[in-house]
Amino acid sequence: MNEVMHDKFMIVDHNYALLGGRNIEPSYFGLAEAPLANKYDWDVLVRRDAGSPADQSVVDTITAYNELLWQKKSTRKVWRPLRKSGILEGIHAAAQKFSAEHPEFYQETVADFTRDMIRPDRIMLLHNPLNSWRKDPWVTQDLVKLASQAEKSLFIQTPYATATPPLLQLLTEAAAHMEVYYLTNSLASAKNLPAYPNYYFQRKKFLQAGVNIYEFQDTDSIHGKSFILDDRISVVGSFNLDSRSIYLDTETMLVIDSPELTRTFSDYHRKIIGQSLKVGKDNKYLPSDTVTATPVLRGKRLTYFLSHLLLRPFQFFI
């Protein structure tokens, strides 16, 4: 069982934090070159209040968590004299080349992003424990507590989910008293060969749990991990509904109590749902007047099916 540091966040000057599910790779910034596909994700920018007491901002909480990551016994320092090797000069040259080729990434300043910031009623960080090997499912436990307080609806977006009995039981219990929506990739937009079959070839189990499933129809892929509870709480970060995120990997999620933000966030999700098809109870797409199922090459379908068969005994570690 290999543990992966799956968190994705940046801290700037102890005043700003950017946290989400985005990796640092061209396809996550809309720069994929064919035949590769772009991956769409979420990030939350948080700023410390000017009058916020020390250690009472969520930026401080993220910073403290980052320090714990550095202090882990499994963290190793990899050091090389950059100036002597010429690597630092190469990085600067690459940055200058990128800014010249992609000026659109430099048109907005920090002031542009902070001008329309929303002040939440509350914001908090969730994370898994940092011990090696199997972890207590802290993030899962916290999300279950949050979901149990929802009254009308639970919206879930994740590219990967494993049909474990505990997860299916939780979804069944939630769907018994509210609407549960699940937005994920279609086989056409899926890009993770080992992980996606865990969901796709067990999709019927999620339907039997009472979940409303929508699958994104495109050749690009959605990679965001988010939850929306009722019309008030938004949760964003790195956590998937698979066993790796639950038990093995380090994960971080921001819980944001803000009806205003949740309305805006829901609008973005509705746009993605507008490019998705709903899966019917018979495990087939329902007809749509506006969305057409993206074709899937026979070779991809076969490859994903064989991956599911071969890796199913190890599905909890993928």
Tell me: the pLDDT tens digits for 17-63?
Answer: 999 999 999 999 999 987 889 999 999 999 998 777 767 899 999 99
| More confident: 76 or 315 | 76
| Three-class SS state of 135 | coil
Give the list of residues 6+ apart from residue 214 with CB closer than 8 angstroms, or none. 181, 182, 183, 184, 273, 276, 277, 278, 279
The answer to pTM > 0.85 is yes
Question: What confidence score (pLDDT) does residue 158 get?
Answer: 97
* Closest to 255 measured CA to CA, from 11, 19, 4, 12: 19
Residue 78: per-residue pLDDT: 72
Residue boundaries of the structural domains of the chain: 9-317
pLDDT digits (tens, 9 = 90+) for 174-222: 999 999 999 999 999 999 998 999 999 999 999 999 999 999 999 999 9
d(CA 277, CA 216): 7
What is the predicted pLDDT for the residue at 122? 96
User: How confident is the model at residue 14, as a pLDDT?
Assistant: 92
Q: Is the pLDDT of residue 1 over 60?
A: no
**Across all residues in the chain, what is the average pLDDT?**
92
Write phi, then psi, for 20 (nearest 5 degrees).
-175, -145
Does pLDDT of 80 surpass 70? no
DSSP characters over 46-85: EE--TTPPTT-SHHHHHHHHHHHHHHSTT-------HHHH
Query: What is the pLDDT at residue 300?
Result: 95
pLDDT above 90 for 88: no
Buried b (16+ CB within 10 A) or exposed e, 294-311: beeeeeeeeebeebbeeb
* Res 318: pLDDT: 64
- Regarding the domain delimited by 9-317, which CATH topology (the fold level of the hierarchy) does it fall under? Endonuclease; Chain A (3.30.870)
pLDDT value of position 312: 77
